[in-house]
Amino acid sequence: MADRCPASFDEALISGHLDGELTQAAEQKVRVHLADCEHCAVVLDELRALRKATMSTEFHSPDDSQWDERPQSGLSLMARGTGWLIAIVWAVFFAGFALWHFWQESANLVERLLVFGGLSALALLFISVLVDRLQAARTDPYREVEK
């Protein structure tokens, strides 16, 4: 069977017909076409079978106890965010202090280069990810959507 309707017919109308979403005029047009076009009639039958399968599919959903195990409010999310922020600030200060000590006490130039070279590489990787994220946020077409 060809992949497309041999006639110049908008195939999307088949889905509109299947879903009962067409105007009366468009519905009539589709019916007339389906009577003559074997390709579209077969497509309609196959899509109808798939749709029947999806419409009758059921999904598990969690019971109430599972919901209760999760954070229930913006307050808990805020606490979690604040915790992360404090942990990051602490890690930055601690790492800075350790580096300062290392720089002051170690006289070996090779050791200094190895440590600072590795840290610079990590910092560059972090910055590249950050730039990508900022770029994605700026070009996101859904940023105006109320969340």
Partner 1 sequence: MTGPRSAPAPVAVTPPSEAQTVILAQQGEAEALDALARSCRQQAYVFALQLIGHPDDALDVAQDAMVRFFRSLGRFDPSRPVRPWLLRIVRNLVRDRARRLRVRRTESLEPDDDALRFEPRDDAPDPEALASRRELQALVWTCLQKLHPRYREVLVLRDYQDLSYADIATTLKIPRGTVMSRLHRARRLLQEEVRKHRSGTGEARDG
CA gap 42, 47 in Å, rounded: 9
Report residue 85 as tokens.
């922020």
Binding string, residues 8-47; x marks residues near partner 1 by CB under 8 A: ---xxxxxx--x-x---------------------x--xx
Report residue 75 as tokens.
């307050």
Phi, psi of 31, rounded to the nearest 5 degrees? -60, -45
Binding of partner 1 at residue 57 (CB under 8 A)? Answer: yes
> Of the ranges 80-88, 91-99, 113-121, 131-139, which one interacts with partner 1 (CB under 8 A)?
131-139
Which residues, other chains included, contact 99 with Cβ-Cβ below 8 Å and sequence gap of 6+? Answer: 115, 119
Binding string, residues 87-126; x marks residues near partner 1 by CB under 8 A: ----------------------------------------
User: Which stretch of DSSP H or E encloses residue 126?
Assistant: helix 109-139
Q: Which CB, 63 or 105, lies closer to partner 1?
A: 63
CA gap 6, 108 in Å, rounded: 78
Residue numbers at the binding site for partner 1 (CB under 8 A): 11-16, 19, 21, 43, 46-47, 49-51, 53-63, 66-67, 70-71, 73-74, 77, 129, 132-133, 136, 142, 145-147
